[in-house]
Amino acid sequence: MAKHVMGLLLVCFGISVASAQKLEYGINGFATSYFGELNNSITFANNIRYGGGVHVRRHLNPWWSLRGDVNWARVAGSDNRPDFVTTLRNLSFRSNIIEFTGVMEYRFREIGHRRNDYKMTPYLFGGVNLFRFNPQAEYRGEWYDLKPLSTEGQGLLEYPESTPYALTQLGIPFGAGLRWALNRYWRLSLEAGYRFIYTDHLDDVSGFYVNSDILRANRGPLAAILADRGRELGSGVPPAAPGTFRGAPRERDSFMYFGFSLSYVVYRKTCPRWK
């Protein structure tokens, strides 16, 4: 009998410890901002886009949690607004992003729904993400994928130093936020997150202008048009000289999210009481 009681107590102790570990499931909504060659202080507000996703969070203890996110987002950038040209490049893009992110969160204090519990805490997070993007440009009302057009000579025999870039990349997400306990089951967070990424081609702009005749012969007239769009501003803008800077090859692009998440807390069942 004693062995059975001891076994039951051990089982109950294990379950009670597990019950202190909570899982959360929730949704994300945010605004996006891209940082790269096609964003500046004048066009910044015009380049803000949006995104959303879902997440799951596992609390390891009162201060540390693991979180996984699956997000869809759109980022965009442009050298000019419709009413004010800021550069003669006249380049623009948009890209849809799908990312899978895993981060570790650190909360400065434990929050809860009881009367004497803290209702809000700041937190920090950092981790790794895998994302896929696809830069596109609009021309005469249609959107075209830019990578197959080799706008900077990627993959052409005449430009062996310009290699094609991958549309699937790794990044390092990190940031900070504020988190509230709304009641026993619901948590609300406001968060700003930065994505440091290992590519300068999020916007398809990185290196140098190439010879438009070579580009036209290899990828067609559309490639030559979308590689050098300054001439669309008027006949007074000369074609870009091959070999001149089209982007900033020594700098990588990045993007950030700013928004909210709402999550539902799942409590595990504890051991039933003796009767």
pLDDT of 265 higher than 70 = yes
More confident site: 101 or 12: 101
Q: pLDDT band at residue 259, thresholds of 50, 70 and 90? A: very high
Predicted pLDDT of residue 79 = 83
Cα–Cα distance measured from residue 210 to residue 244, given in angstroms and rounded to the nearest whole number? 8
pLDDT of 4 higher than 80 = no
65-107 pLDDT, tens per residue?
A: 999 999 999 999 998 766 666 677 889 999 999 999 999 999 9
**Domain ranges within the chain, ordered by starting residue:** 22-266
pLDDT of 6 higher than 70 = no
CATH (one of 3.20.20.70, 3.40.605.10, 2.40.160.20, 1.10.10.60) for 22-266? 2.40.160.20
Q: pLDDT band at residue 12, thresholds of 50, 70 and 90? A: very low
